[in-house]
């Protein structure tokens, strides 16, 4: 078995074989996606043989050039990666604390590679409009921004959403319902202005959880 990981402190792609062999590939500025992918696959084949086949089609991005042929994307800025890693580590701790206070079913804190966000889902008991019991998913996460929202932010949504959710209190100052995205947002800058940012971020998650159970 081969495990692949990114070391965002040493800025390396890491491959580990179950027999103990390990190899590291530096992630440095100006090395293209194609070059890095080819280097990774060379090591994979060295570990497991040439029969290993991986789909090189990129996922959740607007371009379609196969990863091992992508010479266009060749930017890796260590300072930005370090800033992301510090923020994501903080966010993961807050999401873990939110999950720990929930007595019911919950997912682990998940990392989503497509948008590099972290999220956790908990499930709360509620009552439907017809009086029947149901369970709602409350998803809370943090992401570094994308084309729909270009700044880091916390987000939360509820499925199925209760009536009037968009008017529910969202907790700390700055937290709000975003009609365009159809979910709650708490901008990273607003959270940083709070006297205790982690407490404000946790309050945001708890406010959406409470709204889901209403």
pLDDT, tens digit, for every residue of 73-123? 999 999 999 999 999 999 999 999 999 989 889 999 999 988 889 999 999
pLDDT at residue 86 in the model: 95
Mean pLDDT of 155-178: 95
Cα gap 180→189, rounded to integer Å: 20
What three-state secondary structure class fits 8? coil
Residues 6 or more apart whose Cβ sits within 8 Å of residue 184: 155, 156, 157, 170, 175, 176, 177, 178, 204, 208
C-alpha–C-alpha distance, residues 120 and 93, integer Å: 11
Judge whether residue 151 has pLDDT over 70.
Answer: yes
Query: How far apart are alpha carbons 212 and 141 in whole angstroms?
Result: 16
Decide: 117 and 97 in contact? Cβ < 8 Å: no
State residue 108's pLDDT score: 96
Which has more pLDDT, 51 or 24? 24
Of 207, 205, 208, 197, which Cα lies nearest the Cα of 87?
Answer: 197
Q: Give yes or no for residue 7 having a pLDDT over 70.
A: yes
- Confidence (pLDDT) at 25: 96
User: What's the rounded mean pLDDT across residues 162-171?
Assistant: 93
Q: Is the pLDDT of residue 33 over 80?
A: yes
3-state SS track over 56-125: CCCCCCCCCCCHHHCCCCCCCCHHHHHHHHHHHHHHHHHHHHHHHCCCCCECCCEEECCCCEEEEEEEEE
Cβ(19)–Cβ(3) under 8 Å? no
- Percent of the chain having pLDDT more than 70? 100
Q: Is the pLDDT of residue 214 over 60?
A: no
Q: What is the pLDDT of residue 62?
A: 87
Average model confidence (pLDDT) across the chain: 93
Residues 6 or more apart in contact with residue 53 via CB below 8 angstroms? none
The 10s digit of each residue's pLDDT in 44-77 is 999 887 778 899 999 888 899 999 999 999 999 9
Instruction: Give residue limits of the domains in the chain.
Output: 2-69, 78-212
Q: What is the DSSP letter of 147?
A: S
The pLDDT assigned to 61 comes to: 85
């Amino acid at each position: 078995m081969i495990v692949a990981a990114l070391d965002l402190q040493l800025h390396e792609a890491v491959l580990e074989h179950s027999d103990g062999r390990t190899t590291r590939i530096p992630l440095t500025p100006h090395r293209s996606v194609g070059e890095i992918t080819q280097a990774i696959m060379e090591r994979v084949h060295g570990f497991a043989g040439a029969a290993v086949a991986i789909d090189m089609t990129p996922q959740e991005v607007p371009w379609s050039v196969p990863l091992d042929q992508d010479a266009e994307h060749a930017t890796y800025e260590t300072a930005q990666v370090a800033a992301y890693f510090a923020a994501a580590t903080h966010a993961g701790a807050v999401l873990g604390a939110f999950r720990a206070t929930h007595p019911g079913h919950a997912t682990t804190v998940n990392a989503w590679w497509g948008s590099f966000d972290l999220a956790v889902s908990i499930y709360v008991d509620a009552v439907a409009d017809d009086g029947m019991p149901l369970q709602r998913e409350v998803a809370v996460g943090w992401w570094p921004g994308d084309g729909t929202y270009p700044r880091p932010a916390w987000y939360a949504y509820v499925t199925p959403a209760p009536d009037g959710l968009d008017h529910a209190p969202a907790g700390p100052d700055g937290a709000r319902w975003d009609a365009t995205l159809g979910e709650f947002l708490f901008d990273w800058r607003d959270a940083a202005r709070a006297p205790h940012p982690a407490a404000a971020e946790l309050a945001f998650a708890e406010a959406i959880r409470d709204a889901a159970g209403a």
